[in-house]
Homo-oligomer: A and B are copies of this chain.
Amino acid sequence: MNKEDFFIKQFVNDTKLIGDDGAVIGKWVYSNDAFFENVHFKKEWMSLKQIAQKAMLVNISDAIAMNAKPKYALLTVAIPKKYSQKDLKELAKGFKKVAKQFGIEIIGGDTISNIKLDISVTIISKTKKPILRSGIKKEDLLCYTGTLGTSKRDLEKLFSGKKVSKKSKFLKPKLHGEFFYKIAKYVSASMDISDGLFFELERMSKQSKVGFEFFEKIDKEVGCSGEEYELLFSFDKKYKEKIEKLAKKYDVPLTIFAKAIKGKYSCECVNHHFKD
Contact = CB atoms under 8 A, between A and B. Distances in A.
Contacts of A225: none
A30 interface: yes
A75 B4 CA distance: 13
B113 A274 contact: yes
A105 B38 contact: no
B34 A76 contact: yes
Given A14-B105, A20-B108, 17 more contacts: A3-B88, A4-B113, A6-B88, A7-B77, A7-B88, A10-B89, A10-B93, A10-B96, A17-B107, A23-B107, A30-B122, A31-B108, A36-B112, A38-B115, A39-B112, A112-B274, A118-B118
Given A7-B92, A10-B92, A18 B108 contact: yes
A227 to B, nearest CB: 13
Given A18-B108, A74-B23, A76-B120, A36 B6 contact: no
B78 A108 contact: no
A85 interface: yes
Interface in A10-57: 10-11, 14-15, 17-18, 20, 22-23, 25, 28, 30-34, 36, 38-40
A91 interface: yes
A106 interface: yes
Copies in the complex: 2
A56 to B, nearest CB: 13
B111 A30 contact: no
A132 interface: no
A124 interface: yes
A109 interface: yes
> Looking at A11, A30, A81, A124, which has the most chain B CB atoms within 10 Å of its CB?
A11
A34 B3 CA distance: 22
Contact of A107 (B15, B81, B106, B108): B15
A98 B36 CA distance: 26
Contact of A106 (B11, B40, B105, B114): B11
A10 B77 CA distance: 13
Given A74-B122, A96-B14, A122-B74, A111 B7 contact: yes
A8 interface: yes
